[in-house]
């Protein structure tokens, strides 16, 4: 099975920050683990550790997680299933990684458990992550969603 489940653990795999295509691929998988973990735990620092300040989409993800925490809200069933991870050639200190994924439906709840919103499942999402090796560690410097099918 070539599909990867994003697990709910924000522990980086060994060798994830090596300057290789394989490492960039593993880092992209780890980024999606961090994305899941951040939303489920309401801990924005999980995403901040893997994102650069220049990544506008990453900063938006972080702000969304911060709002969940500030409003004492939570999300259910936040699960991303990776379909493919395809790193390009490393050019200097950066690499583009193309990623395809599906996402389960998400329910956002208030502090009493009341449903605030329900977002439909998404399929066939394609994204491009631009990774930059900074101080010996990969960071997402740009995140662009290319295609979404509902």
> First vs last Cα of the chain: how many Å apart?
23
Query: Regarding predicted confidence, which is higher, 86 or 7?
Result: 86
For 92, counting Cβ atoms within 10 Å of its Cβ (0-12 exposed, 13-18 middle, 19+ buried), the class is: exposed
3-state secondary structure the chain: CCCEECCCCCCCCCCCCCCCHHHHHHHHHHHHHHHHHHHHHCCCHHHHCCECCCCHHHHHHHHHHHHHHHCCCEEECCCEEEEEEEECCCECCEEEEEEEEEECCEEEECCCCCEEEEECCEEEEEEEEEEEEECCEEEEEEEEEEEEEC
Q: Which two tokens mark 55?
A: 């990544």
pLDDT tens track for 35-80: 988 998 899 998 999 999 999 999 999 999 999 999 999 998 788 8
Cβ atoms of 7 and 32 within 8 Å: the answer is: no
Query: pTM of the full predicted structure?
Result: 0.87
Confidence of residue 8 (pLDDT cuts 50, 70, 90): very low
Q: Has residue 19 got a pLDDT over 70?
A: yes
């Amino acid at each position: 099975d070539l599909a990867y489940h994003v697990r709910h653990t924000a522990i980086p795999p060994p060798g994830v920050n090596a300057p290789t295509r394989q490492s960039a691929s593993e880092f992209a998988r780890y980024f999606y683990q961090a994305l899941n973990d951040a939303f489920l735990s309401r801990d924005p620092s999980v995403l901040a550790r893997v994102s650069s300040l220049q990544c506008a989409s990453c900063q938006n993800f972080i702000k969304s997680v911060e709002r969940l925490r500030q409003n004492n809200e939570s999300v259910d069933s936040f699960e991303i299933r990776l379909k493919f991870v395809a790193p390009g050639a490393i050019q200097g200190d950066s690499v583009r990684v193309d990623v395809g994924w599906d996402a389960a439906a998400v329910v956002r709840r208030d502090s009493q458990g009341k449903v605030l919103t329900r977002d439909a499942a998404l399929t066939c999402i394609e994204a491009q992550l631009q990774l930059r090796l900074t101080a010996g560690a990969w960071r997402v410097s740009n995140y662009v969603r290319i295609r979404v099918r509902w």
